[in-house]
């Protein structure tokens, strides 16, 4: 796609009001390190214009019948579907995800989520009778959506589609690493025929445009996905203004393999989960917990499985793992790998050196650590790269204790020979979603975390509810 040197405000592409000293944001291909586009770095003044446009459009969109809102979202889904291949190629170019993964996850998943909200908007009960009361669910107002780079289109759709279905208007500030697919999304919104100002896009840096949006008095709710550290700041700002937030933050999810499980399958799927998207997934099962009797067998299986993930050109259909998104991210991940070695973990595969043949581009070796103990840094902190830690447990109580022994609680997995055994163990885990014996991701089920992994839920009707407020009339 051709990058816009403009922001999408009130139904039009408009030049940013950046000062003469401000540079545009350079978008780089992580596989080649080359600049592939430049987009505007919005100022606080640009954010103010976007919020004003969203507020001007709010009453008209909120009063639009839900079925009509659903029809517009269906048109958005169709506009995205028509550009599926372009979406995938764009994400591969700016994120570095392998093309096949970009097609099936970065493109197809958000298209499906958009379609789900077209249906939900039409079928949801925005009004009900409760005794002598009528209870209405009304749009919360103008939404400031701040999205990350790791699943750039999915996170946009997971916020914007339910907000629009609820009758809210939106100002989106995407991550500066991956703004091109956000511009493509704005083009799809335009093609779908939404009224001017219902959706607005400001590209910019988090420290400028993101901060301005999060703290804007004209924004009624901030929905943020990203690091827990930034989420805390946004939550504090919103709390001071008595403003609700929806926060989807970090994770350090446990993949618990119980003694009765199919070990080979559990390890293979667990490794694949961590390597997907070069490990840049907040819900990745980055801690594999195995009973002592089968621990060394699991380590051998993991080493064999990870060997199949050979870093390469993400535009090549045969590539299974590409680079991480940036030089800074590579430095972060390799720093954690070095820390794991310093703290005494056994390096089974990978390491902190560049993969062979990948001296150019921000590549990281797919890495597996054994002999990891719960207090180690690599077992406690979110690495956000292709790094798996394998931990040993003595019994089910020990496994539950280790699994819950982090500040996070976003996702996880449980494997057992009997489904009811797995479910009983899953009930003990302090986390927002758990995959039982490899259960597939469900875009209609609520997604969100316990503890420091966030506040609120995305997807399905639970995701819609985040953008609604309740009014009751008594008769």
In tens, the pLDDT along 132-164 reads: 999 999 999 999 999 999 999 999 999 999 999
Q: What's the chain's Rg over C-alpha atoms?
A: 22
Residue 127: pLDDT over 90: yes
Cα Dmax for the chain = 74
Do residues 389 and 372 make contact, with C-beta atoms less than 8 angstroms apart? yes
Residue 20: pLDDT over 60: no
Residue 21: pLDDT over 60: no
Return the residue matching tokens 């926060």. Answer: 247
- Mean of the pLDDT values across residues 267-284? 98
Query: Which among 416, 411, 410, 412 has a CA at the least distance from the CA of 437?
Result: 416
In the set 94, 248, 382, 466, the catalytic residue is: 248
Which parts of 83-199 fold into alpha helices (H)? 84-95, 99-101, 108-123, 152-166, 180-192
- Mean of the pLDDT values across residues 217-233? 95
End-to-end CA distance of the chain: 56
pLDDT at 19: 62
In the set 176, 282, 382, 458, the catalytic residue is: 282
- Residue 330's pLDDT band (boundaries 50, 70, 90)? very high
Write down all domains in the chain, each with its CATH number in brackets: 7-249+453-474 (3.40.605.10), 254-443 (3.40.309.10)
CA 384 to chain centre: 12
Q: Is 168 in the active site?
A: no
Do residues 53 and 45 make contact, with C-beta atoms less than 8 angstroms apart? no
Residue 23: pLDDT over 90: no
Mean pLDDT of the chain: 97
User: pLDDT digits over 375-405, tens only?
Assistant: 999 999 999 999 999 999 999 999 999 999 9
Residue 22: pLDDT over 80: no
Do residues 437 and 420 make contact, with C-beta atoms less than 8 angstroms apart? no
Q: Is 282 in the active site?
A: yes
- Residue 191's pLDDT band (boundaries 50, 70, 90)? very high
Do residues 178 and 3 make contact, with C-beta atoms less than 8 angstroms apart? no
- Residue 262's pLDDT band (boundaries 50, 70, 90)? very high
Local structure of residue 288 (DSSP, 8 states) = E
- Mean of the pLDDT values across residues 203-218? 95
Which tokens hold the place of 82? 């028509």
- Mean of the pLDDT values across residues 187-212? 97
């Amino acid at each position: 796609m051709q990058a816009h040197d403009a922001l999408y405000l009130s139904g039009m592409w408009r030049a940013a009001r950046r000062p003469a000293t401000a540079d545009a944001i350079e978008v780089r291909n992580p596989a080649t390190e080359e600049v592939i586009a430049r987009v505007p770095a919005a100022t606080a003044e640009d954010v103010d214009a976007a919020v004003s446009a969203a507020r001007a459009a709010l009453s008209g969109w909120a009063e639009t019948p839900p079925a009509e809102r659903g029809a517009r979202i269906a048109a958005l889904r169709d506009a995205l579907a028509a550009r599926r291949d372009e979406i995938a190629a764009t994400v591969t170019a700016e994120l570095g995800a392998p093309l096949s993964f970009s097609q099936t996850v970065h493109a197809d998943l958000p298209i499906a989520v958009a379609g789900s909200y077209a249906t939900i908007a039409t079928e949801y009960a925005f009004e009900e009778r409760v005794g002598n009361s009528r209870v209405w669910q009304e749009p919360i107002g103008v939404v400031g959506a701040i999205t990350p780079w790791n699943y750039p289109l999915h996170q946009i759709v997971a916020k914007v589609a339910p907000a629009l279905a609820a009758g809210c208007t939106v100002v989106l500030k995407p991550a500066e690493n991956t703004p091109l697919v956000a511009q493509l999304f704005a083009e799809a919104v335009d093609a779908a025929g939404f009224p001017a100002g219902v959706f607005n896009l400001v590209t910019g840096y988090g420290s400028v445009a993101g901060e301005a949006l999060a703290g804007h008095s004209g924004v009624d709710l901030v929905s943020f996905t990203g690091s827990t550290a930034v989420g805390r700041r946004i939550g504090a700002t919103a709390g001071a203004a008595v403003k609700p937030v929806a926060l989807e933050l970090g994770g350090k999810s446990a993949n618990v393999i119980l003694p009765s499980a199919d070990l080979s399958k559990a390890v293979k799927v667990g490794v694949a989960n961590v390597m997907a998207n070069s490990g840049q997934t907040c819900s990745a099962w980055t801690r594999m917990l195995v009973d002592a009797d089968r621990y060394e067998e699991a380590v051998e299986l993991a080493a064999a499985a990870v060997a199949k993930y050979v870093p390469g050109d993400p535009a090549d259909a045969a590539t299974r793992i590409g680079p991480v998104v940036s030089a800074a991210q590579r430095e972060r991940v390799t720093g954690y790998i070095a820390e794991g070695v310093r703290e005494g973990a056994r390096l089974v595969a990978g390491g902190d050196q560049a993969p062979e043949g990948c001296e150019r581009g921000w590549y990281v070796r797919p890495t597996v650590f054994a002999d990891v103990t719960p207090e180690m840094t690599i077992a406690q902190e979110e690495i956000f790269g292709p790094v798996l830690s394998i931990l040993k447990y003595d019994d089910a109580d020990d496994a539950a204790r280790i699994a819950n022994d982090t500040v996070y609680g976003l996702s996880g997995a449980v494997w057992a020979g009997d489904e009811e055994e797995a479910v009983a163990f899953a009930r003990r885990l302090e986390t927002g979603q758990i995959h039982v014996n490899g259960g597939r991701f469900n875009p209609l089920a609520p997604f969100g975390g316990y503890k420091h992994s966030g506040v609120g839920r995305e997807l399905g009707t639970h995701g819609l509810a985040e953008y609604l407020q309740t009014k009751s009339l008594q008769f």
